[in-house]
With several copies, the nearest count.
Chain A
Amino acid sequence: MNEALYDSIVLDRARHPRHAGRPAAFDAMGAGENRMCGDQVSIFRVGSTYRHEAVGCAILAASAELMCDAATGKNAGEIAILAKSFEQLVKTGQASPELGDLNALAGIAQYPSRLRCATLPWSALKASLAGDPGAGDRDHD
């Protein structure tokens, strides 16, 4: 059975998150919601580190985790570049070295309907950078 998407990193990070939970104080936040399935995620910036609150499936949780890892210490421009690469990854399934652990989500390319699970944290992150907490992705599809 090809369950590659649910490899050990993804499952591990979904079940044992390192960046989960709303910080007591934060510099910026952004949220995203997929109303079709009830997935919700908020991203909080504290200095140059990130935390998330993710309610949804394992892909959402793992993507939020790995994104927080990857975004730590990066500036907005660097994050934008990373977001682009990530988008390529989940659309094409082609791993790329600069994405590091994020490559674990490459398998999502085989599940177009799950794409939003992986990209929702990134929309929320962008919203937090834009300083517009409500600008996350709220579409239904």
Chain B
Amino acid sequence: MSQATQPLDVHKLREDFPILSQKVHGKPFVFLDSGASAQKPKQVIEAMRFVMEAQYANVHRGLHYMSEKASDAYEAVRDKVAELINAGSRDEIVFTRNATESVNLVAYTWGRSALKPGDAVAVSEMEHHANLVPWQMLRDAHGTALRIVKITESGELDWDSLEEVFADGKVKLLSLTHMSNVLGTYTPVERLAKFAHERGAKLMLDGAQAIVHRAVDVRAIDADFYVFSGHKLYGPTGIGVLYAKAEILEQMPPFMGGGDMIASVGYQNSTWAKPPHRFEAGTPAIIETIGLGAAIDYVRAVGFDAIAEHERHLTEHALGVLSQIEGLRILGSAQDRGGVISFVMKDAHAHDIATLLDRQGIAVRAGHHCAEPLMGRLGVTSTARASFGLYTLPEEIDALATGLERVRKIFA
């Protein structure tokens, strides 16, 4: 265990999250569902309030004070995002609604222009629907193939399968999760980028989970596309990010048409603005983007090294205590894993687990986690999942274990 970084003062950080002091069913609220969406610190809530109370107007086209203030605040977040992921330029950052829209944007625009019918897109067995369904839709509309890279029993990418999928040279895009929202697995992204690039394919990473837990450097990875959502990163809903390398973005046709994405419009023809504006049609999520900026400031002030270290401790602790529970099985055992743990219990269905834990104030998620095919691969219909945030306490994991013991007794 590295001692290089100062451990988080989690109790102090928790004061920033008003919701965590709520009671649920009369019990202290134990929120273990950050993987679905994280809670918001006061700093984010305050930033959104501030813009609405003091600096609000529509952006970009306004020549008056409020519009300039709002535009500046909005565009400043592009710089913050670029810094967060170490993009080469702010113009490589496109604002979307969420990770899902980011993937769809790439599928609709790059997919339908850079890919030809017969080209293949490869994803893995452990993708979120957001990184599977858009490629099925592209396949059906555009004639590209869709290939599935297998995972091993431990829940890691199967490199033999990867080789196989790439064997005939048809794969032009490898689109993978950076961290599985079910198994917690981190994928070896630098190696994957090299692998894909050597074979003439681009690499897209679904960073919806990964962005939250560790520092991400898209240039060090050499990712061609990287997507994530603001709401999992302690920011508001309604705002997501697409990163793509400048030379790729420049070649991409627009996704949606409307205001702000054009260079000029005539009744018959229009020309497109340069990236990133080309991909941001209509009034953007101004307030939410500014909220995301505050979230980025927040996590960077806390520090990704400390967050990663904290979550590593939590995950180790959780794996330890959960493995003590009779009849409980943890899914996935990847070497490199983040703070997301899925499990099933003998005789107790995941939904019953979630409902019974809820009565104890403990929030976990139960279901297929938008990864239905992975459920089939794992031989289950659903799992219960506990996922951690920077505000999660080891005691909360102990409460989960106690709660699960009760569940076990009820169903024993």
Interface residues of A (CB under 8 A from B): 1-3, 5-6, 11, 15, 35-39, 55-59, 111-114, 117, 138-141
Contacts and interface: CB of A to CB of B under 8 A. Distances in A.
Contact of B375 (A15, A38, A138): A38
Nearest to A141: B277
B305 interface: no
B351 A35 contact: no
Interface of B: prevailing SS? mixed
Contacts of B359: 1-3
Interface stretch (B58-66, B154-162, B194-202): B58-66
Given A1-B360, A6-B356, A15-B347, A58 B411 contact: yes
B263 A113 contact: no
Contact of B25 (A2, A11, A140): A2
A114 B263 contact: no
Interface residues of B, number: 34
16 contacts: A3-B359, A11-B410, A37-B351, A37-B367, A38-B368, A56-B349, A56-B351, A57-B350, A57-B352, A58-B411, A59-B352, A111-B68, A113-B67, A114-B351, A139-B263, A140-B264
Contacts of B349: 56-58
B351 A117 contact: yes
A37 B411 contact: no
A58 B355 CA distance: 11
Interface string B227-250: 000000000000000000000000
B274 interface: yes
Contacts of A1: 359-360, 406
B410 A3 contact: yes
Given A2-B25, A11-B410, A140-B277, A35 B263 contact: yes
Nearest to B61: A36
B273 A141 contact: yes
Nearest to B62: A113
Nearest to B361: A1
- 7 closest pairs, A vs B, by CB? A38-B381, A57-B349, A57-B351, A35-B264, A140-B273, A140-B263, A58-B352
B356 A113 contact: no
Contacts of B264: 35, 140
B71 interface: yes
A141 B60 contact: yes
Most buried by B among A11, A39, A57, A141: A57
Contact of B63 (A11, A35, A113, A138): A113
Contacts of B63: 111, 113-114
B308 interface: no
A45 to B, nearest CB: 26
Contacts of A36: 61, 367-368
Nearest to A55: B381
Interface string B349-384: 111100110011000001110000001000001100
A138 B273 CA distance: 10
B61 A59 contact: no
B190 to A, nearest CB: 35
Contacts of A117: 351
B215 interface: no
B398 interface: no
Contacts of A141: 60, 273, 277
Given A2-B359, A37-B351, 4 more contacts: A1-B359, A57-B350, A140-B273, A140-B274
Contacts of A58: 348-349, 352, 411
A39 B381 CA distance: 8
A140 B262 contact: yes
Most buried by B among A2, A35, A38: A38
A3 B353 CA distance: 11
Contacts of B356: 3, 6
A1 B24 CA distance: 12
B72 interface: yes
Nearest to B367: A37
Contacts of B366: 37
A38 B344 CA distance: 14
Nearest to A138: B263
Contact of A114 (B71, B262, B348, B355): B355
B61 A6 contact: no
Contacts of B67: 113
Contact of B410 (A6, A56, A59, A114): A6
Contacts of A140: 262-264, 273-274, 277
